Amino acid sequence: MSEFRQDPITKNWVIIAPERAKRPGAFKRKKKRDERKLKCTCPFCEGNEKMTPPEIMAFRKKGAKPNEPGWTVRVFENKFPALIKNKSLDLRSSNIYLNMKTLGAHEIVALHKHKECMARESVSVIKESIEACKKRCSQLSREVLIKYIHVIQNQGARAGASISHPHFQIFALPLIPQMILREIDGTEEYYKIHKSCVYCDIIKEAKDNSRVILENEYFIAFTPYASRSQYEVWILSKRHEPRFEKVNNLEIKPLADIWKKVLLKLDKGLENPAYNSYIHTCPVNSDLSSETLNFYHWHIEILPKLSIWGGLELGTEVVINIQSPEEAAKFLRNVKVKSR
């Protein structure tokens, strides 16, 4: 049975989930596979709907039935979830330690074509996947015990992807991660000093230097000033908004377009690298004040896995990045891509 366990020093929570070891290929070093053969047995592929739990929602062609072929984006519970539905947290203490049930949700948002890279999906399908994530985040946030919803997209075994089929994962957590709390504290502290949102000021500052990769009317993509990895990219909304699920209908297609273009540039320029991509958004059902939360600004972070962190990074969180973000931005700006 999986459970949350809290480190008594850092207050970080860890999910102990032995059931996840039952996933196909867990702990095995992956060999190069024939993707054409893999497609027949990939549980996320169109036509293999019976290999997953029943769908929660889907975008599908007119006349297509639920849990059958004919969809472009499909949402369902993870067959090997890190979080499971419980009626209570059941917080327990044992000597100096705290643990509790892994209450929450762990869902898959699968894109219909079996490709190794989401960058090669169409803008329309990426748009639908963003709409699906937005809708599920909104619905999951209504569950009072859920405190934070984390949307991720991993590519490549080196980035932790156990299935190469393009997909997002949604984690609905009964707690606010320490990383998010640090970001919220930082945004609040900055606002008290400067009377403005730090992320909005980052956008203004980025426009005046060489770290911008591309932008459109609603979003900007750039390499952050203190990049933690080579070719790290952030995508920020130009409209101040704390919550991802509040992205409006006018913004979804431009978001899909800029996200795809960034991934295409990474794919073409770096020869299809492994990467982790995730959305940082405002907590839900939180005890934090509405004023404190309003200082926050949702955003996307994309971190290619081009180097391995050593003892300095892991032991101190002081990162050595062997490439300047200005050099990375210049390289990515010069990678020509087409988006459709």
List active site positions: 167
Report the amino acid identity of residue 294: N
Within 8 A by CB and 6+ apart from 301, the residues are 232, 233, 234, 277, 278, 280
**DSSP symbols for 317-330:** -----SS-HHHHHH
Report the amino acid identity of residue 317: E
**DSSP symbols for 41-63:** H-TTSTT-GGGSPPEEEEEE-TT
d(CA 93, CA 83) in angstroms, rounded, equals 20
d(CA 267, CA 275) in angstroms, rounded, equals 10
d(CA 171, CA 280) in angstroms, rounded, equals 12
**Closest alpha carbon to 304 in 289, 321, 290:** 321
d(CA 238, CA 218) in angstroms, rounded, equals 5
Looking up tokens 């849990």 gives 67
Report the amino acid identity of residue 56: I
∠ CA 166-171-175, rounded to 5°: 160
